[in-house]
Amino acid sequence: MRNSRGILIVFEGTDGTGKSTQLALLADYLQSRNYPVVTTREPTTGPYGQKIRDLYVKRDTCSPSEELELFLADRKEHVDTLINPSLAEGKIVLCDRYFLSTVAYQGALGFDVEELLSRNSFATPPDIALLFYIPLETALQRITVGRGDMLNDFEKSENLSKVAAIFDSLSENYIKRINAEGSIQQVHLTVLSLVLPLIPDSLKLQA
């Protein structure tokens, strides 16, 4: 039995920065080296997360306060049922978005950043939060041209500009910023350089 606590690695940034791609690459890398990995995301696929996803196309059906409460409820369930149990089992948890996204996206609606951080104090802090950044124009082009997607109600240009500014203002010591303008492989190598020093060999599964 492994006695080591697991590692929580969070992938953050505005839409279009490639964080989900980098999460998948890191998961594959770690699993190929016999580390126990759990990949997850927020909003989750649970009942609160599904309500949040409905807002992607009809955000005006919910007040900002109600929206925030949905994110907090979804995260509480996520932390209690998946993140903390996985960490206790010595697993490496890779999470696509976490409470810093709530701080940035709800902060863009006018909520106070410090208040949002305080409201999320129940959430287990990450060992490292990889915060990916690129110019807003590049992000929007990746969403609409690269992925062929329509911008959802969280991705409008004016909103993303505010979100990016809040992400840029955060100074928590677990945040590591990554310029995501390079190639996928270049960014992946940067991710590895930041993450691997945090992961002890003791977390490896027994052969």
The per-residue pLDDT for range 114-129, each reduced to its tens digit, is: 999 999 999 999 999 9
Write down the pLDDT at residue 17: 87
CA proximity to 123, closest of 68, 174, 73: 73
Mean pLDDT (whole number) for 27-53:
95
Per-residue pLDDT at 64 exceeds 50: yes
The string of DSSP letters for 17-80 reads S-HHHHHHHHHHHHHHTT--EEEEESS-SSHHHHHHHHTTT-GGGS-HHHHHHHHHHHHHHHII
Q: 27-39, pLDDT tens digit by residue?
A: 999 999 999 999 9
pTM: 0.90
The structure tokens listed for 52 are 């949040």
Per-residue pLDDT, 149: 52
Domains of the chain, first to last:
7-198 (3.40.50.300)
Measure the N-to-C terminal CA separation of the chain; round to a whole number of Å.
Answer: 13
- Residue 43: is the preceding peptide bond cis (ω within 30°)? yes
Per DSSP, what are the bridge partners of residue 41?
96
**Burial per residue of 104-114, b for 16 or more beta-carbon CB atoms within 10 angstroms, e otherwise:** bbbbbeebeee
Instruction: Convert the pLDDT of each residue in 187-203 to its tens digit.
Output: 999 999 999 999 999 99
Token pair of 127 as six digits? 């060992």
CA nearest 153: which of 116, 100, 110, 108? 108
